[in-house]
Structure 1
Amino acid sequence: MPRLQIGVIKNALLYPYGPNYKDRSTPKADDGASPQIPISEHFYFYGKRYQSLYVNNNGVVSFDKPVSQFTPDPFPVTDGRAFVAPFWADVDNRIKGEVYYRQSQDEGLLRRVTADINTYFPKEKFTATWAFVATWDQVAFYGSLSSKVNTFQVVLASDGELSFVVMNYQDIQWISGQASGGDALTGLEGTPAQAGFNSGDADNYFNIPGSWTPSIINISSMSNIMDPGRWVFEVDVFAVPNGCVYKANFLPSNAIFWSELACEEKCQCMSNSPRVMCQARSCSADEVCQSVSWYHECKPFHRLEYYRVEGEMLRTASAAAHIRRLRMAVYGQDIVVIPNSPEAVMINGIKTLLPVVLLGGKVRVHQSGFSVKIVTDLGIEVSSSGNQYVEIAIPASYHNATCGLCGTLNANSDDEFMAPNGSFLASATLFAKSWQVQGKPDSPV
């Protein structure tokens, strides 16, 4: 007889969930929610104590009142609603998926939560006495005509005074429902999901990077604790590990940025405290102020951004050599395209479904016909079609500043066969061998 799986542990990232762990499920309803859930331990959120909550189908755990709104607003939402939003978007569990929840004082669960929190916040000496686990398991989006589903989880933990939230993202395949302008076949476009925290006022809120933008599709490959797919926060008095918060945005430790459009105030996230220190400092005479996501940086004039494109070739006795993997490094991102596998790419070692939007749109990866295309705001585009063909488009600004198998792009055909050491080679064979990258055959490109 077939076996029914009623208790689920998808991977080490997620805490156990499902009916086997005495989870309940929210109703199968459009924009539905659980009944009001009285909680057995005080939970402090931005300094206010709460004693009940709701699990809302649309990716929200709220305090005092349910949240039926299906199209998310950007934070802050200042109408008094206080809630934790692991992935606020238009879920429809009538089509597919379950929304599970439970509060627990199980010793095994509390030990695991305690160990995790103390790893991320070693100075707190926290011992969990209560935990609440809500899991959106393989949920579809409203109006879906595809098989795309999301699986994510939020865990609230308290010792009666300190409160923490852990958000886990196993698999995010869509970002918006059809009623929010999303595409019924892809779950993309429209108004993207919002993730983070909202206290109900204008001052106390937090946006997980990429929220309310297409980049939120990559949330399962990001983290504030160096563990892709997991985000951890203290929320009684809001704090984040390994960084700080400036104007509701997360910054890693030691990050340096300029806070406003004119680049007249230079700020740094301090390594030994959650504070941001700012002082009057403008760009130097040979620098220009440029926008980078929500902050600004001083960058040298005429500076060309470094990029690199590599191909891993595979040769067999029965077939001609072909491209096994194509890799592009740009803006600190590592993008690997596997020919003939057009649905996904590897982003910084994490498998990610197409399309992908990185760094607020500075890099985009999408399928175009039979090709997978990497498009950058530098004007550089890389297109891979099958395992035999790669096309690289280079803008004029990079002419006379390139090297490699594409040549120098300086309108001088005499120096095209230039080796990495600057010498010129006599044959195409020697030239190609000089640009070989040594590595293990089975290692990622």
Structure 2
Amino acid sequence: MSHTQNRSTRLIHGTSQPCEQTGALAPPLVQTSTFVFRDWQEGARRFAGEEEGYVYTRLGNPTVSQLEEKVADLEGAEAAVAFASGMGAVSGALMGLLGHGDHLLCSRGIYGCTHGLLGWMKEKMNVCTTFVDRPSRERLEKAVRPETKVLYLETPVNPTLEIIDLNEVCLWAKERGIKVVVDNTFATPILQRPLEWGADLVLHSATKYIGGHGDVIGGVLCGSSQLIGPIRDQLRKDVGAVLSPFDAWLLLRGIRTLAVRMERHVANAEKIARLLLAHPAVKKVDYPGLPNHPQYRLAQRQMDLPGGMVSFQVCGGLEGARLFLDRLKMCLLTVSLGDVATLVQHPASMTHAIVPEEERSAMGITDDLIRLSVGIEDISDIWTDLEQALHPLSEQVGECGKEEFSCKKSS
């Protein structure tokens, strides 16, 4: 299939072809643990790497391979490797690139479990991490060490939605021979492709937007064949964080509608962000599509669209956040994102609870911060639910300060 086709077309066609044996339109689910050889010589050749072919599903499977090819195509990568979870992809990238005593530079805001993994790597592998606020050439230059091997980024950052200038930091890293890994889960390859800006590896928690329906867990890591090959052939094989064929099949089904879902996610998120900004019980709104976002112009340049995630702070601190969350009726209180339904969570007590309080504060994760994954429901129904949950907090506007609100609205 021609790579000149638009991504929305390649999502449906791309590397997928009707099954040669049956003509089936849907990709076949090869639900098997192992593969039968025609004779001893074929088995020996495949184990020796002298012949292409499948041996054992932990090492490779046609359904999993089709997913890998699809995501690699969308990201503009030579190769991809799928894992049993998004954290499998994070672990594969970091453990594949870092060794004992190496140093890692990392954006200050990252997913809580990624933060936990870095703590484990410090304890077990003596891999030290330096967190950098709003990574830029100047800030990275101050933090780099002779043993720095990797720069790990999220953009947009979870959950504050800060945007990092990929072109600037990737150029800086390449000058020093440092590999750049970008978690692209929030944007998806429909909205942002970090490899085009110079990143070396890009990863996804495919559980989120790629799957899109809350029924599967998986991860994908994309990059050059030189980097992906050893991670697939050694690390994934020996660690065993293998995506099952059935889960790969579900992800292949979900990804076909990714483009149209992202259009609706973004359209709804833009409207919800503006409505929240105008609400008296909301102190601050973080959304890259709002002109008052600090990296608004950068987001316009780097991303095709600003995404479906919105974060905001409510009046009343922790108690205000609790009251808001407990009053939701349609929007679902859960820690995932990227689902067709609108999902809401409290980062400080949920996804980022593992992060020490001092670190959370440095990340900008306050007790009154809410993370909203805007779904594809009718926009009026989403807002009706959010508005009724916010209503009791409107009475606490005075506690937040009128001056703060007037400044926020005019910024």
Quickly name the TM-score band, shorter chain normalised: under 0.3
Higher Cα Rg, which structure: 1
Of the two structures, which has the highest relative contact order with CA contacts closer than 8 Å and spacing of 6 or more? 2
Task: Answer 1 or 2: which has greater strand percent.
Answer: 1
TM-score normalised by the chain length of structure 1: 0.25
